[in-house]
Structure 1
């Protein structure tokens, strides 16, 4: 995978601002957080309507945040669950790392290689003009693909490992899309936490 695109954790990508911290968490802490979050989270599998048909989202999800941090994505309005002590602790550490307030987190649970996230940008209006998306990865490693908006070719792929942190900021969401594709390769369950700042409840 093209991790040599990074210099001092920064991805050299035009019209984007990305940082990868490959070992942000030590393995023992990453293991503990993974096990606690998988056990404590009330997972849901929402359904979305595509081309007139209803499909279950191909992963399990949960949305936590401040009371006013409602979030709309994939055509669904999500009301936040209250912060747990562990998620509040993780948020505090991440805010210290990125230097910005974060008031919501989307948890995505990829049970195996059949679970996935389709191409998208985190560009909802309530995230503001240049959102900071802070993505903490726990569990099995998965490939994270990037492509230019309007293009079909994958330009870059990263392997997001257990305990790694990927930060997307600046104009990234204006010009780039990302996905976690299905894979036939055996892979352990993966938990991804994407923290963000909801600037309005539109």
Structure 2
């Protein structure tokens, strides 16, 4: 469990900046930190090359279709593909462990190859996220893409431009009372998002 190793080392504070919190409706909130991840170029290159990317397929009406992005998840105990991601998870646990009540343990990766790749409106509500407050921390590397959030059932939406090395943390009731999406765009270069989650949240 790497969150115990250098979790409280002073150098974690100096390498990773402090996010700024924005309250949302219904008990949800987001934290955003620009340029949060050190040396994002090297992280992006390593992820492209070394992550065992795969295509998911999903039932849509009467046929199976490819999910429009590549994916892979690093489960508990699996080595992350770049040491900076290990330090990032330690930094996240140092900042959020007391508020969250448990550490971030898994790392889901999504590879948006161009503007045609996307993710539809959803909340991470499989598992405990369906009934309990939790957090999902997203680190973005590569070409900027807009992440949109909207209240479930309607209401004013929020857009966060996720740039190279940026961090977005969704917390409070966000997964239960809000949805988020990365829509298709006319033009975009490759982007990878890494989603750190507690155990049992998908």
Choose from 18, 43, 66 the match for 1:33: 43
Aligned partner of residue 122 in structure 1, secondary structure: coil
How many residues in Structure 1 have an aligned counterpart in Structure 2?
Answer: 176
Provide structure 2 residue ranges, at least 5 long, that are not aligned to the other structure: 1-18
Match for residue 103 of structure 1 among 83, 102, 105: 105
In the alignment, is the contact (CA less than 8 A) between 1:145 and 1:154 conserved in 2? no
Of Structure 1 and Structure 2, the greater helix share is in 2
TM-score, normalised to structure 2, is 0.80
Aligned residue number for residue 36 of structure 2? 24
Question: Quick check: 2:111–2:191 contact (8 Å CA) kept in 1?
Answer: yes
Runs (4+) of structure 1 moved beyond 4 Å?
Answer: none
- Residue 51 of structure 2 contacts residue 81 of structure 2 at CA under 8 Å; is this kept in 1? no
* SS of equivalent to 1:57: strand
Give 2:179's aligned residue: 177
Tell me: CA distance 1:187–1:92, structure 2 relative to 1, closer, same or farther (3 Å). Answer: same
2:22 maps to 11
Q: Does the C-alpha gap of structure 1 residues 31 and 58 become closer, same or farther in structure 2, counting only changes over 3 Å? A: same
- CA RMSD in angstroms, aligned pairs only: 2.1
Note if 1:198 corresponds to 2:202.
no
Q: Deviations over 1:115-134 (max 9, x none)?
A: 00000001112446112101
**TM, length-normalised to structure 1:** 0.80
* CA deviations over 1:147-196 (Å, ceiling 9, x no partner): 11123x76111101111000011111121000000000x22210000010
Q: Is the 8 A contact 2:21 2:30 kept in 1?
A: yes
